[in-house]
Structure 1
């Protein structure tokens, strides 16, 4: 337990963290990788280069400081991060490394303002926070291993089938190399894929949502080839999967994880809104809703650049054909001449509030969405403007968590 004095000191640093948080976490990661380059085999290099991981950690540290006297208030965020840690293979022995380098980064960035009293209080606070993560993650590791079909760490799977879903997205059907059973999962969860890429010094791990219904003898991931655009480099893992991972190839994956899951106890109408490859966890949800909730109205909305980029459309249309409680809608940003000829979409441009209101009977519904961050910010703003309840709005970031509140 933290003393009242330590809590007071930590809370006094909240304004400082709000200003210098990203500078501290940027220096933290630089220090940690200098001192422990082996951790580059775990962390996502692309997120580091783009600054997303630094910002996400800064937000987490800020939230921990703000709620240091009531860490239960940030338990949902802790669990979300813990799922990712378990999926990546982060263990208890990594936490002292993080703590040592985080405290050193605070001292470096704040200089004389980081007094011995402040660093001492943060050392104690970090110990409490780390123990919370370690305990939650230990339970998750145990559950992943002990569940039926479960396993610890990474397990070898073979690509049983590869299907081209669009010009930029392929689906990979994965079965265990040992021929044994696989763990079930909740619709919306993901797996981590660990790859050794030719010419790369470090192992790369990426998390991909499962895009099919659970209960099948395989896992399906649908992967977009992330080509270089503007200042962003090409996705190393997605490119390698598209270039080299054919049927019969072997991949190493961790057991399913994730907090962005379908609430099957709420029977109100549900709206699933996917942007681009963000449709993958929603497709798993749709597959389950088709069979398990025949009396629940389901609105499935997918935004894509055009029909050539539109993945998993036939599967969604087939589910809607067989299950009248499902309504599907397509929004194309830049429809092709063929799209217009076939009338294969319902809206041109972007998903906006007037269109949502025209196809969704009421804001009293459960909303789930996923996609590029600008897309999610637009959806979030629209739902808030409409007056949808905060507890009815659920979303998933691909990569480190961010904020949808900013412009």
Structure 2
């Protein structure tokens, strides 16, 4: 969520838009839980009028029933949109109920109609792309910048880009799939991912590149040897710190574009909510129907990735424990979950996309 609660005279003086603009009605058509703490919501026009084109990075101001007005950045781009998408981080344990984020997660259902103004906002690419781009994001800050990267792929796919993103670990990397697909669409882009607290299943140099938080001094080796335009998006504290560090590097304010998405605590995972995995070590896994046996190692990732590496086919849709399609029967042995999953498999079954072996296994696949 963008850190704005309208109406506010000071904020309106910055963005010059409010409910004085003509609001439109939108219908919820789809919800996707990207991770256990992040949901994407797809909206269509509630009527015959087509959706308004927009600049990636802009946002909608919603009037949420019983809560009030909240602004959310659009997290996907199309020059002729059929739907709008926003990506919302859920409240953590112990936080107040009735928040807007909790509304999107628990209350909003397909068919619901909401009012919103926009799209609007000044956090977007310029009309003319004159310099290389550097995106620096943390947490759900990846959402608007993923959309901006999509627009870049449409407008100038060979433009030079450096995309730096920081998150807690693989279980909080909401748009990993989208960013992965953009790598092929932007051949002159460089991507580096930081995990603050990687899980044992998170593989360095494959799932992430650096351990810890983004430190700008470490980025110098990855920056182009010329002037760049910097786009910074994340929690209030993250954005303030990065902008201050850019200023100390001699980056002028005209080269820095930033968007704040909320309090620093919104990017923190409660340690009590994270699963503590038992020690992981090589295990023998036998896939009975295919007659295939092999030794799983931590670098092989989840059981789904391991099976695919052996040439086996397993049904899946989301790969993050949302759809439940990859569930298979475990005939013997034990597994451990690498993430909490909305999908709950039948007794005796486990989601291959979200489990690793902690003993020798037999799986009906």
Task: Give the corresponding residue for 2:48.
Answer: 179
> Residues 213 and 288 of structure 1 are in contact (CA less than 8 Å); yes or no, is this contact kept in structure 2?
yes
- Indicate how the Cα distance of structure 1 residues 260 and 79 shifts in structure 2: closer, same or farther if over 3 A, else same: farther
Q: Does 1:305 align with 2:168?
A: yes
Report SS of the residue matched to 2:245: helix
Q: Does 1:82 align with 2:35?
A: no
Q: For each residue in 1:277-332, what CA deviation from the matched residue of structure 2 results, as whole angstroms up to 9, or x when unmatched?
A: 12222111100111211332011121111110011111111111233122222111
Counterpart Cα distance in 2 of 1:273 and 1:394: 10
Report SS of the residue matched to 2:202: helix
Task: Give the corresponding residue for 1:334.
Answer: 197
Task: Give the corresponding residue for 1:114.
Answer: none
Task: Give the corresponding residue for 1:279.
Answer: 142
Q: Does 1:262 align with 2:125?
A: yes
Counterpart Cα distance in 2 of 1:78 and 1:250: 25
Which structure carries more helix by proportion?
Answer: 1
Unpaired runs of 5+ in structure 2?
Answer: 264-365
Task: Give the corresponding residue for 2:221.
Answer: 358
* 1:227 positional shift: 2.6
* 1:267 positional shift: 2.3
- Indicate how the Cα distance of structure 1 residues 399 and 311 shifts in structure 2: closer, same or farther if over 3 A, else same: closer
Match for residue 89 of structure 2 among 216, 221, 224:
224
Counterpart Cα distance in 2 of 1:235 and 1:388: 41
Q: For each residue in 1:174-229, what CA deviation from the matched residue of structure 2 results, as whole angstroms up to 9, or x when unmatched?
A: 001213211111111100121213xxxxx511100001113221111011112356
- Indicate how the Cα distance of structure 1 residues 390 and 44 shifts in structure 2: closer, same or farther if over 3 A, else same: closer
> Residues 190 and 207 of structure 1 are in contact (CA less than 8 Å); yes or no, is this contact kept in structure 2?
yes
**What TM-score, normalized by structure 2, do the two folds share?**
0.65
- Indicate how the Cα distance of structure 1 residues 79 and 326 shifts in structure 2: closer, same or farther if over 3 A, else same: farther
* 1:168 positional shift: 1.0
Q: For each residue in 1:341-400, what CA deviation from the matched residue of structure 2 results, as whole angstroms up to 9, or x when unmatched?
A: 783101111111222112212361000011112211221122122222221011012369
Equivalenced residue count is: 259
* 1:275 positional shift: 1.1
Q: Which moved more, 1:161-170 or 1:367-376?
A: 161-170
> Residues 51 and 82 of structure 2 are in contact (CA less than 8 Å); yes or no, is this contact kept in structure 1?
yes
Q: Does 1:250 align with 2:184?
A: no
Match for residue 157 of structure 1 among 12, 26, 48:
26
Task: Give the corresponding residue for 1:210.
Answer: 74
Task: Give the corresponding residue for 1:393.
Answer: 256
Task: Give the corresponding residue for 1:34.
Answer: none
Unpaired runs of 5+ in structure 1?
Answer: 1-42, 48-52, 61-76, 92-140, 142-151, 198-202, 401-407
> Residues 187 and 281 of structure 1 are in contact (CA less than 8 Å); yes or no, is this contact kept in structure 2?
yes
> Residues 70 and 100 of structure 2 are in contact (CA less than 8 Å); yes or no, is this contact kept in structure 1?
yes
- Indicate how the Cα distance of structure 1 residues 341 and 328 shifts in structure 2: closer, same or farther if over 3 A, else same: closer
Counterpart Cα distance in 1 of 2:260 and 2:162: 21
Q: For residues 6-405 of structure 1, what are the structure 2 equivalents within 5 Å?
A: 44=5, 80-83=14-17, 86=18, 89=19, 91=20, 141=21, 152-153=22-23, 155-197=24-66, 203-214=67-78, 215-227=80-92, 233-234=96-97, 236-340=99-203, 343-362=206-225, 364-398=227-261
Task: Give the corresponding residue for 2:320.
Answer: none
Counterpart Cα distance in 1 of 2:237 and 2:229: 21
* 1:250 positional shift: 2.5
Counterpart Cα distance in 2 of 1:363 and 1:390: 16
Counterpart Cα distance in 2 of 1:246 and 1:337: 35
Counterpart Cα distance in 2 of 1:172 and 1:255: 16
Report SS of the residue matched to 1:289: helix
Counterpart Cα distance in 2 of 1:216 and 1:234: 33
